Structure 1
Amino acid sequence: MIPELAQAIERAEPVVLATVIRTFRSVPRRPGSKMLIFADGRTIGTIGGGEMEHRVAVEAANVLSTNEPIVVKYELVDPADGHAGVCGGEAEIYLEPYMPKPTILVIGAGHVGRAVCGLASWLNFRTVVWDDRPDAADGVEDADAKLSGSLSDALSRHEVTAETSVVMVTRNVALDLEILPVLFATPAKYIGLMGSTRRWETTREGLVKLGIGDDQIARVQAPIGIEIKAETPEEIAVSIIAEVIGSRNGA
């Protein structure tokens, strides 16, 4: 079971580990029995099958939504009284969530992009960097994944989910107008774009000409970062990551 759990964590796939921690009288499985429950309902292993296991799977979905472990207790005596079985005993099961690291996708591997990757990595984010210049992407030491080439192709291999925060620290408007429509097709939680207010207005006008709707354009936070009068790449990275964290926490 542990190897399968490790593989799920490596794939950044949310999963709940259910472990029988205490039993009384007759039960289908003894303490230490384990089962993995995935967000799509798949399971690996068993804690006894039947109605009890079904109820645990339902509880696991709640655990994934709250990211908080819980202990559930089931009586297995009389289904007519709402019990989860007829074995004659009781079981307590510990449900422990294993959530993937939050991901930051950094678009642009220049000075600021590298600083963002370094700080994000230190804060235990999973960092993915993309740049249209292969040498620039390869030079980022703190990235978990380094991508180049077509952004669409890159994102087909490294999926952007609703939990992904996108940091765009690109070099010009033309590149922004190529990249943003690709990102709008994803469920990214946060899309921030570095640049002056004037640059953003130019980019926005370009998006309108491309037929991008206001609802999509409104997803972009620009200029990116909280205002701390940052100047150096490292200071700008602090400003950006602070905003990303705030977005994730509902600030």
Structure 2
Amino acid sequence: MLNIADTLYDWCRAARPFALATIVDVHGSAPLPVGTALAVDTDGNAVGSISGGCVEGAVYELCQQVLADRGAPARARFGYSDDDAFAVGLTCGGELDVLVQHVDPADQPHLTTALEAVTQGRPTALAQIIDGPEDLLGRTLSLLGDGSAYDGTLGSPGEDRAVAAQARALLRAGRTSRIEVGGDADTCPERLSVLVHTHAPRPRMLIFGAVDFAGALSQAGHFLGYRVTVCDARPVFATSTRFPHADDVVVDWPHRYLEHTEVDARTAVCVLTHDAKFDIPLLRLALDLPVGYVGAMGSRRTHDHRLKALREAGVLEDRLAHLHSPIGLDLGAHTSEETAISITAEIIAHTHRGTGLPLTRGTGPIHPPAPGAPPSATRTAA
């Protein structure tokens, strides 16, 4: 639905009900992906597309019917018809599953806030129930910014927390995806299929230092869904040939590049050079920026010297507390690949407030309560 967020936001602000048709599943070849939507308001105005034109008329009529009935959501499947080339269908040979629901902005006020965030370019996730009990179909839950809190409800606190946890991960990766939750009598009694719509660029991983470890780390970061940049002041080392998994390879002084590039609360800064002439001005700047993670490679002796130099450069203790150095978790890593896993494991643990300890040493729920959830809430793995 976020493909038509601008118009939906205008309709929500005007408290104008509308019918929303969303692609919830695709089989074979289809022109548009899951999550794409078409909407029709009470005046018959239509916006969006779900097939590039070949089934729009039928979907428009279904939307008008749902608007008129103000009843339960309707489902439809559209596919190519061999018997009648002019029948409603997809000439590309694929099939679309479409959910059409009546939306009254007054019933879901958080939807207006979420759509506004999308129109302003802010990271946003909207979770929409697309399969489950009829009275829950179409309900939504939204996460804004870093996803630390959520708004709306899908039916029960347990379901909300389970969906929010997975939606938060999808938001970080900037991926729209269908997830399954529930079926647990203790926390999520209803089995639900939920489509999580996300609006967010991929989070950034900035790797400073075109060293061997950077090659493995750029590959691991790419695998986790980061937009990876490798930066080094030495052109002979900073080449796309050496770092094929990086989205960008930049030749520049690290602190100068960081000063002018875009970062946010999801950005991970990994300093691998362990060379003071690069590290100190870079870390001094990085620790003053609103990034999610700052880590620096080096021995414990290097770390002690680095802290002394940063203090002399005017970095305050409360900022130094945000520095992960030596970088990574203690996994006993030796190779570049093992070290990359150690670093990304620490980033994941820091991002999701994990302990980094073996699960066998813990008790209680595997996943702690989500930030923003009620204090008494607990979650099980969904």
TM-score band, normalised by the shorter chain? 0.5 to 0.7
The percent of aligned pairs where both chains have the same amino acid is 26
Distance 1:166-1:16 versus aligned 2 partners, 3 A rule? farther
Alpha-carbon displacement from aligned partner over 1:17-41 (angstroms, at most 9, x marks no partner): 959525899445347479xxxxxxx
CA drift at 1:239: 0.4
Q: Secondary structure at the match of 1:96?
A: strand
Matches of residues 59-138 of structure 1 in structure 2 within 5 Å?
A: 59-60=114-115, 67-70=125-128, 71=138, 96-138=197-239
Alpha-carbon displacement from aligned partner over 1:39-71 (angstroms, at most 9, x marks no partner): xxxxxxxxxxxx969x65423257877623234
Alpha-carbon displacement from aligned partner over 1:230-250 (angstroms, at most 9, x marks no partner): 111111011001111112222
Residue of structure 1 in register with 2:20 after alignment = 21
Distance 1:17-1:25 versus aligned 2 partners, 3 A rule? closer
Q: Secondary structure at the match of 2:238?
A: helix
Structure with more contact order per residue of length (Cα contacts < 8 Å, sep ≥ 6): 1
Q: Is the 8 A contact 1:117 1:127 kept in 2?
A: yes
Matched, 1:148 2:164: no
Residue of structure 2 in register with 1:211 after alignment = 314
Q: Is the 8 A contact 1:20 1:29 kept in 2?
A: no
Residue of structure 1 in register with 2:113 after alignment = 58
Q: Secondary structure at the match of 1:200?
A: helix
CA drift at 1:152: 4.4
CA drift at 1:104: 0.9
Residue of structure 2 in register with 1:239 after alignment = 342
Q: Is the 8 A contact 1:128 1:145 kept in 2?
A: yes
Distance 1:27-1:237 versus aligned 2 partners, 3 A rule? same
Q: Secondary structure at the match of 2:319?
A: helix
| Deviation beyond 6 Å, 4+ runs, structure 1 | 62-66
Q: Which amino acid letter does the alignment assign opposite residue 243 of structure 1?
A: E
Q: Which amino acid letter does the alignment assign opposite residue 142 of structure 1?
A: H
Residue of structure 2 in register with 1:76 after alignment = none
Alpha-carbon displacement from aligned partner over 1:91-116 (angstroms, at most 9, x marks no partner): xxx99322222211111110101110
Q: For residues 342 and 219 of structure 2, what CA distance do their matches in structure 1 show?
A: 14
Distance 1:126-1:65 versus aligned 2 partners, 3 A rule? closer
Q: Is the 8 A contact 2:208 2:254 kept in 1?
A: no
Q: Which amino acid letter does the alignment assign opposite residue 113 of structure 2?
A: V
Q: For residues 307 and 115 of structure 2, what CA distance do their matches in structure 1 show?
A: 43
**TM-score, normalised via structure 2 length:** 0.46
Q: Secondary structure at the match of 2:126?
A: coil
Residue of structure 1 in register with 2:363 after alignment = none
Distance 1:20-1:147 versus aligned 2 partners, 3 A rule? farther
Unmatched tracts of structure 2, length 5 or more: 9-17, 22-38, 51-103, 129-137, 141-194, 355-382
Q: Is the 8 A contact 1:131 1:137 kept in 2?
A: yes
**TM-score, normalised via structure 1 length:** 0.68
Query: Which structure has the highest helix share of the two?
Result: 1
Choose the corresponding residue for 1:179, options 266, 276, 282.
Answer: 282
Q: For residues 207 and 297 of structure 2, what CA distance do their matches in structure 1 show?
A: 11
Q: Is the 8 A contact 2:218 2:228 kept in 1?
A: yes
Q: Secondary structure at the match of 1:135?
A: coil
Unmatched tracts of structure 1, length 5 or more: 6-14, 35-50, 74-93
Distance 1:17-1:195 versus aligned 2 partners, 3 A rule? farther
